[in-house]
Structure 1
Amino acid sequence: MLSFPNAKINLGLNVVSKRPDGYHDIETIFYPIPVKDALEIVFCGEKDVFHSEGIPVEAAPADNLVMRALRLLREQYEIPPLEIYLMKGIPFGAGLGGGSSDAAFMLKLVNTLCALHIPDERLEELAASIGADCPFFIRNTPVFAGGIGNIFSPVSLSLKGYHLCLVKPNIMVSTPEAYAQVTPQAPSISLKEIIRMPVSQWREWMVNDFEASVFSRYPLIGEIKDYFYQCGALYASMSGSGSSVFALFTEDPGLCLQEQFPDCFVWQGNLP
């Protein structure tokens, strides 16, 4: 059984407050995008076998979130040995949720292949124990995320037909360090209101609180955002705590991103 775990971008990200447990409450909008991995599972012999190709996975196979998702299900359900094939196309350290997506899609694949009949609500609970943004990929539709990024409410938003450009430089941004450089504060206007505005107005109102400190430490990330605006983007932003930067255009601007950013991961295409 084959599926294609997709990435997400953050439309705006406000760090609202620091919690007593050391985590931060945030507000953001998760939006699915068609940058994808491939994940296939089949029944096999006496023990699980894991294969990974594409973008190298640094973690040991046993530590991969796909295998963690499988172990989580096995704590409650009888699941026979599986052979797992993962083709990585979503870059790491990008703020795109690639690992979380793989784990969530693994939960859904095993649920279907083994006829476990686990409802989405329960799958979301299981996914939450893997990572804060992992439950988003169970339903995989645009949501407003609060709490630590794990409390979802649906939003009416479609970017269908917009052209998305994405560049991920060879930079790893430490998420704890990014949070340490931000002074939490409630936004002056809610993202739920901003997304009702035309996309052309988002530039004025929609912010990512991580950008100021990340751009000062890694100027290339800020330069990518500036480049997109120079090329006529309606809206451009860093996704999550970085390091990828995306831009929305009304139509294909004809950019040669790989030539402009030769050492970076790049992707562009129309949103479905």
Structure 2
Amino acid sequence: MIAFPNAKINLGLNIVSKRPDGFHNLETCFYPVKIFDSLEILHSDLFEFTHSGLESSSGEDNLVIKAHRAMQKKYGIGQVKIHLHKAIPMGAGLGGGSSDAAFTVKLLNELFQLGLSTHEMEDIVAPIGSDCPFFINNKPVIGKEKGNVFSPINLSLDGYFGLLIFPPFGVSTKEAYSKVTPKAPLYPVQEVIGEDIAQWKNKLHNDFEDSVFEIYPMLNDIKEKLYSSGAIYACMSGSGSTMFGIFTNKDQLHSVSLSGCTSFSFSF
């Protein structure tokens, strides 16, 4: 069985407060985008995990393996052969690893005919990563608390075009949080998302940009380039290094060129 785990972007991200458990309360909008890994799972006598494409761990810290272990522990499923082809970069803020874990659970549910509900699959992946449950339902939502409490949102970017810019480095979650200062948002994400997209530029902010841009000024340069090339909204995705722009005209995407960076264009 084969599936194609997709990436996500964050439309705004407010770091609201520090939690007693050491995590942070945040608010953001998760939106799925059309850049994919490839995941194949087959029945097997012995467990086997292989990978190709971009760099990916083959050890027990790989989220695909963690997802299989969780399913095996809870539902007693049999052994499988898994192959993961990575196209979504690690440390990019696109949720590639989380998506791989969620799609592993969905494939295993189908392969072993478990009949699990969406909620049951979300419960399985929640301990693996805060944004893993998003990829089970895989529709636009407002994420709150640790980013794992979802509210459905009526949002469609159909008709717009997106451009992802990958710089030649990633940003770890620990690094992104190292200088962040939690604060009550001036403009709550859910309110701004409901406004015309032309208003997002001045109101929909990713708080990680304040700290990460100090460490990696190249990211600010990329954001400025996206806007100067015609983007109506540009932002850093999550806590990673990917910058993205939303455009009304597909031809504008070709004017964005940055030395040392990789770009990926798509339609929403």
TM over 0.5: yes
Q: Is 2:197 the counterpart of 1:189?
A: no
SS at match of 1:152: strand
Contact 2:247 2:253 in 1 (8 A): no
Determine the C-alpha separation between the residues in 2 that align with 1:39 and 1:262.
31
Q: Tell me the equivalent position of 2:265.
A: 268
Q: Tell me the equivalent position of 2:169.
A: 171
The AA in structure 1 aligned to 2:92 is: A
Q: Tell me the equivalent position of 1:42.
A: 42
Show structure 2 runs of 5+ residues with no match. none
**Structure 1 residues 56 and 180: alpha-carbon distance in aligned structure 2, compared to 1, 3 A threshold:** closer
Tell me the number of residue pairs that the alignment of Structure 1 and Structure 2 aligns.
268
1:3-39 alpha-carbon deviations (Å, 9 max, x no partner): 1000000000000001112111000000000110010
Contact 1:50 1:61 in 2 (8 A): no
Q: Tell me the equivalent position of 2:246.
A: 248
Q: Tell me the equivalent position of 2:97.
A: 99
Q: Tell me the equivalent position of 2:143.
A: 145
Determine the C-alpha separation between the residues in 1 that align with 2:53 and 2:259.
18
Where in structure 2 are the equivalents of 1:189-208 lying within 5 Å? 189-208=187-206
SS at match of 1:63: coil
Using structure 1 for the length normalisation, give the TM-score: 0.95
Shift of the alpha carbon at 1:118?
1.1
Determine the C-alpha separation between the residues in 2 that align with 1:41 and 1:261.
37
1:180-224 alpha-carbon deviations (Å, 9 max, x no partner): 312211112221111111111100110011112211211111111
Q: Is 2:7 the counterpart of 1:7?
A: yes
1:246-270 alpha-carbon deviations (Å, 9 max, x no partner): 000012134447x823432321021
The AA in structure 2 aligned to 1:261 is: L
1:32-56 alpha-carbon deviations (Å, 9 max, x no partner): 0011001011112x21111201112
**Structure 1 residues 175 and 78: alpha-carbon distance in aligned structure 2, compared to 1, 3 A threshold:** closer
Q: Tell me the equivalent position of 2:28.
A: 28
Q: Tell me the equivalent position of 1:209.
A: 207
Q: Tell me the equivalent position of 1:235.
A: 233
**Larger mean Cα displacement after TM superposition, 101-110 or 72-81:** 72-81
Root mean square deviation of aligned Cα: 1.4
Determine the C-alpha separation between the residues in 2 that align with 1:178 and 1:270.
28
Show structure 1 runs of 5+ residues with no match. none
SS at match of 1:187: coil
Q: Tell me the equivalent position of 1:83.
A: 81
Query: Which runs of 4 or more aligned residues in structure 1 lie more than 4 Å from their structure 2 counterparts after TM superposition?
Result: none
The AA in structure 2 aligned to 1:175 is: T
The AA in structure 1 aligned to 2:14 is: N
Determine the C-alpha separation between the residues in 2 that align with 1:68 and 1:265.
30
Determine the C-alpha separation between the residues in 2 that align with 1:255 and 1:262.
15
Percent identity for Structure 1 against Structure 2 = 48
**Structure 1 residues 208 and 220: alpha-carbon distance in aligned structure 2, compared to 1, 3 A threshold:** same
Contact 2:165 2:263 in 1 (8 A): yes
Q: Is 2:13 the counterpart of 1:16?
A: no
Determine the C-alpha separation between the residues in 2 that align with 1:255 and 1:189.
29
Contact 1:91 1:265 in 2 (8 A): no
The AA in structure 1 aligned to 2:46 is: K
